[in-house]
Amino acid sequence: EAQVTQNPRYLITVTGKKLTVTCSQNMNHEYMSWYRQDPGLGLRQIYYSMNVEVTDKGDVPEGYKVSRKEKRNFPLILESPSPNQTSLYFCASSRQRWDTQYFGPGTRLTVL
């Protein structure tokens, strides 16, 4: 089954404790992206990757890192999480940047 998976689905952590949210897709897609969803603000792009080893900032990249060492994986790293990063996070992939995106199920992160 074609899908985008994310782990963990739910995470509660404390300020400053490094964490990684994993994302994997099995569709051989070139393009992968991370979004956060906040009330009243919709989906805002954090980082994206056009291909392996090619990443770039989206609209709200501050406080986040990403890497793309393999085509299927695109982890999101929060080196020192802060409460304003409490949000619902989605990973997405598509064949190319302009194609319809397929979203993962989301990761609800709470930073205390």
Q: Which stretch binds other proteins (CB under 8 A): 13-21, 65-73, 74-82, 89-97?
A: 89-97
* CB 15 within 8 Å of CB 111: yes
Shortest CA distance to 32 belongs to which of 53, 1, 60, 9?
Answer: 53
Q: Shortest approach of other proteins to residue 16 CB, angstroms?
A: 28
Quote the CA–CA distance of 6 and 103 in Å, as a whole number: 10
Is 22 an interacting residue with respect to other proteins (CB under 8 A)? no
DSSP string across 40-67: TTEEEEEEEEEETTEEEE-S--TT-EE-
In the set 41, 51, 79, 83, which binds other proteins (CB under 8 A)?
Answer: 41
Residue of 66, 68, 104, 111 that binds other proteins (CB under 8 A): 104
Binding site for other proteins (CB under 8 A): 4, 33, 35, 40-45, 48, 58, 90, 92, 97-98, 100-106
